């Protein structure tokens, strides 16, 4: 790593001081003169015909400026080619889950808006509701969507000859596992400020993961030309996938501003966060595999049944991607996967760290642990026999370049030695994962655009439309630009996206921000550097080839005396006749193909990441209480641009993975959430975190800027299966559903006792 | 004008609806969480030694967050090559005028800040003060500035052989005229919001005429690298020159934010506007001319004595420019001008519509009226004998291109016929003027940079750092871009400058915004158009030469069926592989030279404007009360991009010119302003406005984008001399000082009576 000055160093995050000092502005901190407060009236019933909404009394309340219901909202549902949302702004005809948006109020303050909500009278005719995919598929089940049946999406894909492979397998294994609904629990609830001006232009301040995409979607939903929607990104207080699509609060806030002619601010309360956002897709996963007697992975069949909730967001895509990705960890040629995701009268589900992969990795890696044991191998041995190698073409079409999976498995195995523990309460579990970096969506633009401007005093400004939603993107981009231009981090600025000024960006599909956005920044910085050198050559009357840029200075190679500061050249560029600030441009466009929409086959990413984790647990056999003694997590992320940030990502991911594995579940009763608050819903806290050792495996990937791939997802994906396997290692029982609570562990122990 | 679709049309201003609806945001409308309010403690004495400032009690007041005095402010005075300000942020050692900044408070609200000001104890030792330039030049007079004498600036320039010309003149005339202090009285008082963040970066929201220049100056004053100052321009509620430089409120607000670590907002009250801003430079003007017996203008000698107030701003430059410009109306080869501007213990003076030209044009044009009458000519005859023609090289080095002065004089003379009125109370007066457009300041960059971005749906966004301070620039730029790109005005957006995104711009020297900024916009739009056509040629598989752009469509010439909408091409540009939004760039750099700094000779502007005005008055000989019956104002502005906006500029200018001529004067007693409010200080209101006929003379100037020159100043410059001459025409008396109040008119009539 010595060849870089800034890249590869654990410099502090560019937004750290602002956030720590409470000075960072979030959407709710934005304000405009005459700003109103908006609140939403939600259905208390999981399924009901809306007979009549009487807003008369609420409208007469002093301080109420507007009340909207479905009749005030544009009719067509939001549609965008890559996100098949079918939620209308307000429920039409029927309320389909507890929390469904029925009406909204804008008033001078929150108290008045709240009072107005209470004055709205809604007459309902309750309808039979359905709460599980199994029930929703039964003949005669209530139909949740506007038309058709309850199947929100289904897929079936085959690689190789699955039946023949199973036929020649020596051993066939089968398991059924189940995952739960997990809420993102980001600290900053959904919030926005919308201001529709007298010229018919909407400006909206949001904290989105995909400001460009949400802007286009919002314009389409509202029936406004895209050019009339300005999207200003604020700091994002956590997102984890939950803020990647257009959520109802945005068009509602916009409509309230359009109706009142005044700015309107809205923010979910925590209960709304639990009942009406897009939590993790719960799945029932049936997995069957065939192995040769010496442990070669021959065939795999997966059947997934998932719960879509009442409206469509990314559910079907999550089921497909979640099912396909874990397969790429192994050299298995014969695969059949099918999945169904089904409407029910619960809140819609959506993207959450892992995009379905956490659920399916939990299933596959738990299943493989059993396979290894039954084949008489250690879990590592089985994996090392079958894992994907650099240069492989996987069954799903991944052209694997760098792949540090072997090092990852070896590293974590070394750290926590298997077979050494002999105790009735302690156990070790291992799991592996793979993820794609930039997941091309179509044959159209699949990259990123950035500009790097050099202003007076040699200040470097990065103009990118990519979003920093807490993952640290701005710091990574700033390090890349600083590295290319030979300046310190303090000289680099990277403002938040504003659609008036920053270029269009793809959403943060997969983990594309560093590889694609970062590459654009690097190219833009290189372009700016070329322009600087050319100008300096003119100023110094030197040949551009003889010049070098280092430590904020441009000088003639070998003549350290003769030189110009970056500031001098930048200033000359602006103030010379016909001058203007140097602006470098970078366009990233990866050499990838979109996956085939039917078969989901294809090499849609320029690079792939891998990881492996070992967890050591100690379990109280009386109470089922589990204590994590150690986690060792090794990750092939390519070059770590900022090792501390990468470790932070891994540790944060592990926290979410522990919640998924052990404690978190949104509990429903007849469609109503029972624990919509952070007391009854158990997110791991700092005090719950075990000792974690992170190991960064850094093969240099030539397809990526500075060799850096990605790191976002694996931390979250690995803990549930690693924990599941550790529990088995300790107790000899399998808890085949998440979260693996003490109660479930005790029940398994009881059953084991009965069986024995 | 039929060749243009949008240019030349009186389209509504782009900001009209926002402003009329009260939705436009001014600096005072900006807000940030935890924002404090700042107030300034000012000296009550015109000249006093500051013995001690005790802030102890104020500091202990609950809610007070910071108190600053001179000891907390950076030591070096603000300096910038082109603006020789010598004011330190706070008065050091001595207070030098009533209103001088001594201390500032930041507190949780305005009441607390106000209370804190009252608790600050200042011990003064009063010093002898001086209030007029004449007194300030006397030996032994108190010295106002930090060191040296009281002469703030002086100049002397000569063209031709003045003494010889006077020697051969048949007639020599001499007059002394005097002008007063006029306050800009913009509606929006000076205000700003400053926020210094934890990363050491200052963001300041202001309403400046020169956001780029003030940014550089502010950074220098505060000792911050320029890159650490972000300047965001807000809507400007009038400026008229008064907001062109860095005013003390900006660094004070910034320092309060730097000390407290919190955002701070400040706004002058109207009294502060009157006592501590930069009003019009008052002058005593001695003017002597030599003419041949047939009325040829042979020689001119001018001596100016001006009052600089206590600190240096643009006073010396105003005296020089004001003296030179009016000469260019005439073919006079032999000129000697000298001027002195002198420190006194009053508020500093600065730029105000006309930049000194209003004062000197009043003097010259009043004087020439007397010359004409004494030579037995009509005022028009004298002017038509001597006026500047197209193609002239004037005595001061102006290379005159288009010049519609003759048409202007003829038009206004036709409209209000001289010689027809025979009444003891009615009179007619005429005056002429000339102005430069873009006044190059140095051999460095003297133009403007703009970008034109085409985003989705073919929306056109103009990115320029030039400031719209109420003159309508954004509308003019939008018309130019719409014209080039063949789109409607509704498709064009032009956000306010933000130093993070918009390019550096010169200040609005002279009238350069339309000629220079507009040219850059036109070039940028043409560049974007080329890119659009090239892309469309690729999409249509056509030759780019065969394509044309019109009415939002690109089509093959002669094949109106085959074509693409602008939106289709713009969208393709963004979403195609390796795509990015089309961004056109335009750099204007005029073919001009800076004036010689010593002789002030040179052709510093690509074009020049001219104008003439006739005023008809009726005066009550008993009360001296003057009624304006008609104003006819003809202006050579080149192409009027927006005739209604041009007429608005002329009418607004006339309002200020009427105030200067008749009613407005900041009155002092022992250095204290007697009328610091809009009741006692008489700004003309809508009810005071006479019928005005504006005549637009529009020669096409090939050096200017769309042939458009400028229009800002002449409306203001012409009324005082036209009124002065009309009063003489009616009553036979000369009121040789401004404002020409009823009292002064009566006194002249009394004196006339006595003389007769």
pLDDT per position as a tens digit, B178-195: 999 999 999 999 999 999
Cβ-Cβ contacts under 8 Å, A591 against chain B: none
pLDDT tens readout for residues B715-724: 999 999 999 9
Cα B484 to Cα B299: distance, rounded to the nearest angstrom? 47
Contact (CB, 8 A) for B178 and B284: yes
- Are residues A227 and B493, on separate chains, in Cβ contact within 8 Å? yes
Which of A664-668, B91-95, B559-563, B597-601 holds the top average pLDDT? A664-668
Two structure tokens written together for A48: 């009901």
**Mean pLDDT value across chain B:** 94
Cα A451 to Cα A446: distance, rounded to the nearest angstrom? 17
Percent of chain A with pLDDT strictly greater than 90? 88
Closest CA to A49 of A143, A149, A151: A143
- Are residues A18 and B198, on separate chains, in Cβ contact within 8 Å? yes
3-state class (DSSP) for residue B454: strand
3-state DSSP helix/strand/coil % of chain B, to nearest 5: 30, 25, 40
From B384's Cα to the closest Cα of chain A, the distance in A is 39
- A560 vs A23, A487, A547, A571, CA distance in Å? 42, 17, 10, 21
pLDDT tens readout for residues A103-112: 999 999 999 9
Q: Which residue of chain B is at minimal alpha-carbon distance from A583?
A: B503
CB-CB: which of A23, A463, A576 is closest to B198?
Answer: A23
**Mean pLDDT value across chain A:** 94
Percent of chain A with pLDDT strictly greater than 70? 97
Q: To which residue do tokens 């522990």 refer?
A: A658
Two structure tokens written together for A104: 């909204």
Give backbone dihedrals phi and psi of A412, rounded to 5 degrees, phi first: -70, -30
From B561's Cα to the closest Cα of chain A, the distance in A is 25
Q: Which residue of chain A is at minimal alpha-carbon distance from B575?
A: A445
Q: Helices (DSSP H) in A607-663: which residue ranges?
A: 643-658
CB atoms within 10 A of CB A59: 15
pLDDT for position B87: 86
Cα B131 to Cα A10: distance, rounded to the nearest angstrom? 63
Cβ-Cβ contacts under 8 Å, B463 against chain A: 501
Closest CA to B700 of B389, B401, B399, B330: B401
Q: Where are the beta strands (DSSP E) in B516-642?
A: 547-550, 553-556, 559-565, 582-588, 608-619, 626-636
pLDDT for position A421: 61
Q: Which residue of chain B is at minimal alpha-carbon distance from A19?
A: B198
- Are residues A199 and B18, on separate chains, in Cβ contact within 8 Å? yes
- Are residues A444 and B580, on separate chains, in Cβ contact within 8 Å? no
Cα B645 to Cα B637: distance, rounded to the nearest angstrom? 12
Preceding amide of A32 cis, omega within 30? no
- Are residues A500 and B491, on separate chains, in Cβ contact within 8 Å? no
From B96's Cα to the closest Cα of chain A, the distance in A is 35
- Are residues A500 and B495, on separate chains, in Cβ contact within 8 Å? yes
10 Å CB burial of residue B17 (0-12, 13-18, 19+) is middle
Cα A245 to Cα A216: distance, rounded to the nearest angstrom? 11
pLDDT tens readout for residues A5-41: 999 999 999 999 989 988 888 999 998 888 999 999 9
| Mean pLDDT of the region A680-686 | 96
> Any idea of the CA torsion for B593, B596, B602, B603, to the nearest 10 degrees?
30
- Are residues B14 and A199, on separate chains, in Cβ contact within 8 Å? yes
pLDDT tens readout for residues A410-439: 999 887 765 566 678 999 999 999 999 999
pLDDT tens readout for residues B389-430: 999 999 999 999 999 999 999 999 887 765 566 678 999 999
pLDDT for position B42: 98
Cα A746 to Cα A753: distance, rounded to the nearest angstrom? 10
Percent of chain B with pLDDT strictly greater than 70? 97
- Are residues B227 and A463, on separate chains, in Cβ contact within 8 Å? no
CB-CB: which of A17, A503, A579 is closest to B445?
Answer: A579
Cβ-Cβ contacts under 8 Å, A498 against chain B: 501
pTM exceeding 0.80: yes
| Mean pLDDT of the region B207-235 | 93
Confidence of residue A487 (pLDDT cuts 50, 70, 90): very high
pLDDT for position A458: 86
- Are residues B500 and A491, on separate chains, in Cβ contact within 8 Å? no
10 Å CB burial of residue B545 (0-12, 13-18, 19+) is exposed
Does position B756 have pLDDT exceeding 90, yes or no?
no
pLDDT tens readout for residues B116-139: 999 999 999 999 999 999 999 999
pLDDT tens readout for residues B135-156: 999 999 999 998 889 999 999 9
CB-CB: which of A198, A216, A578 is closest to B447?
Answer: A578
| Mean pLDDT of the region B104-120 | 98
Closest CA to A342 of A130, A33, A111: A130
3-state class (DSSP) for residue B516: helix
pLDDT tens readout for residues A166-219: 999 999 999 999 999 999 999 999 999 999 998 899 999 999 999 999 999 999
Cα B196 to Cα B211: distance, rounded to the nearest angstrom? 18
Cα B652 to Cα B643: distance, rounded to the nearest angstrom? 14
| Mean pLDDT of the region B235-257 | 95
Closest CA to A394 of A442, A358, A429, A435: A435
Closest CA to B372 of B413, B425, B422: B413
Give backbone dihedrals phi and psi of B410, rounded to 5 degrees, phi first: -65, -40
pLDDT for position B419: 58
Interface test with B, best of A12, A14, A23 (most B CBs within 10 A): A23
Does position A2 have pLDDT exceeding 70, yes or no?
no
pLDDT for position B83: 47
For helices A719-731 and A742-755, angle between their N-to-C axes, nearest 10 degrees? 40
- For chain B, the distance separating the N- and C-terminal CA atoms, rounded to the nearest angstrom, is 56
Contact (CB, 8 A) for B384 and B409: yes
Q: What is the 3-state secondary structure (H, E, C) of B109-165?
A: CHHHHHHHHHHCEEEEEECCCCCCHHHHCCCCCCCCCCCCCCEEEEEEEEECCHHHH
- Are residues A589 and B581, on separate chains, in Cβ contact within 8 Å? no
Q: Which residue of chain B is at minimal alpha-carbon distance from A465?
A: B580
From A730's Cα to the closest Cα of chain B, the distance in A is 50
Cα A747 to Cα A754: distance, rounded to the nearest angstrom? 10
Two structure tokens written together for B711: 């229009």
Q: To which residue do tokens 């030579």 refer?
A: B375
Cα A257 to Cα A106: distance, rounded to the nearest angstrom? 8
From B146's Cα to the closest Cα of chain A, the distance in A is 31
Two structure tokens written together for B546: 């065969």
Two structure tokens written together for A32: 């405009």
Cα B727 to Cα B626: distance, rounded to the nearest angstrom? 9
pLDDT for position B81: 35
| Mean pLDDT of the region A501-528 | 95
3-state class (DSSP) for residue A153: strand
- Beta-strand pair B191-196/B171-178: unpaired
Cα A88 to Cα A75: distance, rounded to the nearest angstrom? 8
From A15's Cα to the closest Cα of chain B, the distance in A is 8
Cβ-Cβ contacts under 8 Å, A589 against chain B: 577-578
- A14 vs A266, A470, A495, B513, CA distance in Å? 28, 11, 11, 37
**How is residue A71 annotated by DSSP?**
G
Cβ-Cβ contacts under 8 Å, B449 against chain A: 579-581
3-state class (DSSP) for residue B89: coil
- Are residues B33 and A25, on separate chains, in Cβ contact within 8 Å? yes
Confidence of residue B229 (pLDDT cuts 50, 70, 90): very high
- For chain A, the distance separating the N- and C-terminal CA atoms, rounded to the nearest angstrom, is 56
CB-CB: which of A14, A444, A461 is closest to B577?
Answer: A444
Contact (CB, 8 A) for B285 and B304: yes
Interface test with A, best of B215, B445, B523, B535 (most A CBs within 10 A): B445
Element housing B291 (H / E):
strand B283-291
Cβ-Cβ contacts under 8 Å, A261 against chain B: 21, 23
Cα B253 to Cα B221: distance, rounded to the nearest angstrom? 13
- Predicted complex ipTM: 0.90
- Beta-strand pair B191-196/B264-267: antiparallel
CB atoms within 10 A of CB A203: 21
Q: In the beta sheet, which residues pair with residue B452?
A: B462, B584
pLDDT tens readout for residues B279-302: 999 999 999 999 999 999 999 999
- Are residues A444 and B504, on separate chains, in Cβ contact within 8 Å? no
Q: In the beta sheet, which residues pair with residue A547?
A: A556
**How is residue A517 annotated by DSSP?**
I
Chain A and chain B share a number of CB contacts under 8 A equal to 146
CA–CA–CA angle B394, B395, B399 (5° rounding): 30
Does position A81 have pLDDT exceeding 70, yes or no?
no
Q: In the beta sheet, which residues pair with residue B616?
A: B428, B630
Preceding amide of B367 cis, omega within 30? no
Cβ-Cβ contacts under 8 Å, B576 against chain A: 444-445
Preceding amide of A25 cis, omega within 30? no
Cα A407 to Cα A413: distance, rounded to the nearest angstrom? 10
3-state class (DSSP) for residue A311: coil
């Amino acid at each position: 790593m010595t060849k870089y000055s800034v890249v590869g160093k654990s410099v502090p995050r560019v937004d750290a001081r602002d956030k720590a000092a409470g000075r960072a502005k979030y959407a709710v901190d934005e304000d405009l003169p005459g700003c109103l407060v908006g609140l939403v009236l939600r259905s208390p019933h999981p399924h009901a015909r809306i007979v009549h909404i009487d807003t008369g009394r609420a409208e007469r309340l002093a301080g109420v400026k507007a009340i909207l219901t479905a009749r005030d909202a544009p009719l067509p549902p939001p549609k965008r080619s890559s996100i098949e949302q079918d939620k209308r702004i307000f429920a039409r005809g029927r309320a389909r889950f507890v929390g469904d948006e029925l009406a909204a109020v804008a008033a001078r303050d929150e108290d008045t808006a709240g009072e107005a909500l209470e004055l709205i009278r809604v007459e309902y005719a309750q309808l039979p509701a359905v709460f599980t995919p199994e029930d929703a598929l039964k003949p005669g089940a209530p139909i949740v969507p506007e038309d058709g049946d309850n199947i929100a999406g289904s897929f079936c894909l085959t690689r190789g000859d699955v039946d023949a492979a199973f036929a020649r397998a020596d051993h066939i294994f089968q398991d059924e596992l189940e995952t739960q609904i997990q809420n993102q629990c980001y600290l900053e609830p959904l919030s926005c400020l919308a201001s529709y001006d007298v010229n018919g232009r909407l400006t909206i301040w949001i904290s989105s993961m995909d400001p460009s995409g949400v802007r286009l979607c919002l314009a389409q939903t509202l029936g406004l030309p895209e050019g009339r929607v300005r999207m200003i990104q604020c700091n994002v207080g956590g997102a984890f996938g939950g803020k990647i699509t257009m959520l109802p609060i945005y068009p509602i806030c916009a409509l309230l501003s359009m109706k009142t002619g005044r700015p309107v601010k809205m923010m979910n309360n925590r209960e709304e966060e639990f009942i009406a956002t897009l939590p993790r897709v719960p799945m029932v996963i049936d997995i069957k595999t065939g192995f040769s007697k010496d442990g070669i992975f021959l065939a795999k069949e997966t059947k997934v049944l998932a719960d879509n909730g009442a409206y469509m967001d990314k559910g079907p895509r999550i089921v497909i991607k979640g099912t396909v990705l874990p397969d790429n960890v192994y050299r298995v040629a014969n695969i059949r996967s099918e999945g169904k995701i089904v409407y029910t009268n619960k809140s819609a589900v959506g993207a959450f760290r892992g995009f379905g992969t956490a659920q399916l990795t939990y299933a596959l890696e738990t299943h493989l642990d059993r396979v290894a044991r039954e084949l008489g191998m250690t879990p590592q041995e089985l994996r090392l026999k079958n894992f994907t190698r650099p240069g492989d073409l996987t069954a799903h079409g991944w052209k694997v370049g760098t792949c540090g999976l072997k090092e990852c498995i070896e590293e974590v195995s070394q750290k926590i030695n298997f077979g050494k523990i002999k105790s009735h309460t302690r156990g070790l579990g291992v799991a592996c994962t793979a993820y794609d970096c930039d997941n091309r969506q179509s044959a159209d633009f699949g990259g990123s655009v950035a500009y790097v401007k050099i202003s007076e005093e040699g200040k470097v400004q990065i103009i990118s439309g990519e979003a920093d939603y807490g993952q640290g993107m701005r710091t990574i981009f700033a390090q890349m630009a600083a590295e290319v231009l030979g300046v310190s981090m303090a000289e680099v600025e990277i403002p938040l996206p504003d659609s008036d000024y920053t270029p269009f960006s793809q959403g943060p599909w997969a983990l594309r921000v560093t590889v694609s956005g970062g590459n654009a920044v690097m190219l833009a910085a290189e372009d700016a550097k070329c322009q600087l050198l050319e100008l300096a050559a003119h100023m110094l009357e030197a040949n551009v080839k003889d010049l070098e840029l280092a430590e904020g200075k441009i000088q003639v190679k070998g003549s350290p005396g003769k030189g110009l500061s970056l500031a001098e050249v930048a200033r000359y560029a602006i103030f010379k006749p016909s001058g203007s600030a140097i602006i470098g441009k970078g366009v990233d466009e990866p050499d990838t193909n979109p996956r085939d929409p039917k078969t989901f086959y294809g090499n849609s990413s320029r690079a792939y990441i891998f990881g492996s984790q070992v967890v050591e647990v100690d379990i109280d056999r009386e109470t089922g209480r589990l204590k994590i003694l150690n986690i060792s997590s090794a990750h092939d992320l390519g070059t770590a641009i900022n090792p501390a940030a990468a470790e932070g990502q891994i540790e944060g991911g592990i926290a979410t993975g522990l919640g998924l594995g052990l404690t978190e579940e949104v509990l429903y009763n007849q469609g109503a959430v029972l624990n919509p608050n952070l007391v009854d819903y158990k997110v791991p806290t700092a005090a719950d975190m075990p000792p974690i050792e992170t190991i960064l495996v850094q093969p240099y990937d030539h397809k990526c800027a500075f060799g850096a791939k990605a790191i976002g997802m694996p931390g979250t994906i690995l803990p549930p299966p690693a924990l599941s396997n550790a529990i088995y290692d300790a107790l000899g029982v399998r808890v085949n559903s998440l979260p693996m609570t003490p109660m479930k562990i005790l029940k398994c122990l009881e059953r084991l006792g009965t069986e024995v």
